[in-house]
């Protein structure tokens, strides 16, 4: 028997002492240790400090939404506006876009709660996909008009499965729902 044929059994143990480094913690605490949260609800019985903090933390999805504006896919870095009025108008439009995006994502996730979910980027089922991921799934779908006949290309079973979670007004774009036009 050679030494490379013998089964090897190695074990390792790490022993460490953990301590706080106060000189590094104190500057961080000074910089990010306090937050001001304001409200117009002045009655502490109606809204306690703990409830206010909880409500504030629920806004995390909104904060993530504004991160979406900084994404290179959103192309905000290539927009140049000179007048304050145009900057305000663009801000309003972007805010409305974020509202529509958030409502769409929320409705999709509510619908998915009752189902097995959809596949994420890793191929695993999720009930909380981002709407951005869903948009990316649909990037390669095209409308074809051949001799007056309208067709949708690249509408796979997976994409059809995702579309069933959207209302008829969205499915209509993919020629899947022909109900009455919603106003």
Give the model's pLDDT for residue 153: 92
Report DSSP state, residue 178.
-
User: What one-character DSSP code corresponds to residue 136?
Assistant: H
C-alpha span between 28 and 158 (Å, rounded): 47
* pLDDT reported for residue 183: 45
Q: Is 116 left (phi over 0), alpha (psi -120 to 50) or beta?
A: alpha
Q: State residue 114 phi and psi, 5-degree precision.
A: -90, 0
The structure tokens listed for 158 are 């997976």
Which of the residues in the chain have pLDDT under 70?
1-8, 32-35, 61-62, 65-66, 68-69, 73-77, 178-183
pLDDT per residue over 26-64, tens digit each? 887 777 666 677 788 888 889 888 888 888 877 776 677
Q: For the whole model, what pTM was predicted?
A: 0.56
| Angle in degrees, 0-180, between the axes of helices 49-58 and 60-70, rounded to the nearest 10 | 30
What pLDDT score was predicted for residue 146?
92
Q: Would you give the DSSP letter of residue 6?
A: S
């Amino acid at each position: 028997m050679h030494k490379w044929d013998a089964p090897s059994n190695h074990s390792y143990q790490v022993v460490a002492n953990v301590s706080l480094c106060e000189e590094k913690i104190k500057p961080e605490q000074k910089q990010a240790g306090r937050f001001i949260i304001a409200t117009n609800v002045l009655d502490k019985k109606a809204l306690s400090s703990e409830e206010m903090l909880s409500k504030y933390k629920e806004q995390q999805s909104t904060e993530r939404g504004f991160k979406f504006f900084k994404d290179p896919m959103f192309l905000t870095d290539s927009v140049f506006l000179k007048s304050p009025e145009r900057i305000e108008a663009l801000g309003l439009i972007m805010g409305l876009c974020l509202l529509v995006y958030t409502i769409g994502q929320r409705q999709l996730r509510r619908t998915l709660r009752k189902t097995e979910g959809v596949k994420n980027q890793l191929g695993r089922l999720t009930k909380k996909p981002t709407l951005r991921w869903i948009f990316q799934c649909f990037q390669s779908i095209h409308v074809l008009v051949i001799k007056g006949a309208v067709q949708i290309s690249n509408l796979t079973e997976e994409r059809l499965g995702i579309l069933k979670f959207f209302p008829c007004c969205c499915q209509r774009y993919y020629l899947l729902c022909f109900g009455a036009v919603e106003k």
